[in-house]
Each structure stands twice: as C-alpha cells, then as structure tokens.
Amino acid sequence: MDVKERELARKREIFATQEFSPSDVERIKRNRQELQQHIDLLRNDTQELEKQICENEMKISKQQEKVREAENQGTENEREAVG
C-alpha cells in the first residue's frame, strides 16, 4: 500500500467507527452557538465594567487633586498667618 491508500484506509476506519451521530453533531453545534452568545454577553459586560472603572478612577483622581489643592491652600494660609 502506498501512502495515499493507507491514509484513505485510515480515514475510512475513522468514519466507520465514528461515535457522533448527525443529531449529536447538531446538538454540539447548538451548544457551541449558545456558548458563543454567552461569551459575547460576558465580553460586553466586561467592557461596560471596564468603562465604569475608568470613570470611577477619573472621579477619584479629581477628588484627590481637590484634596491636594485644599492642602496646598491651607499651607499657604498658614504661611501668610505666620508671616
């Protein structure tokens, strides 16, 4: 037997002993589609959460800047009072 004949025989053996019926294949395809939809929803949720995190970090950063400004203003006022 040459290589092509052996490969064909191997493929025929696989086909003859295949364990999935057409209904199994359809069920697997449906499950795959459902899982893909779930993954897509989770990705969208993740993107939305990342956006919210970014917005919250910006708010925190602005608040920290206000606190620093207030501290600096307080320090300047103390210097003026002492000076």
State pLDDT tens for residues 1-53.
688 899 999 888 888 888 888 888 899 999 999 999 999 999 999 999 999 99
CA distances from 21 to 4, 12, 17, 78 (A): 27, 16, 11, 84
- Who contacts 20 (Cβ-Cβ below 8 Å, separation ≥6)? 28
State pLDDT tens for residues 66-83.
999 988 887 777 777 776
pTM exceeding 0.75: no
Q: In whole angstroms, what is the distance from residue 81 CA to residue 41 CA? A: 60
- Please give the full DSSP string across 14-47, using - where no structure is assigned: HHHT----HHHHHHHHHHHHHHHHHHHHHHHHHH
Q: In whole angstroms, what is the distance from residue 69 CA to residue 63 CA? A: 10
Q: Tokens 């920290």 label which residue?
A: 64
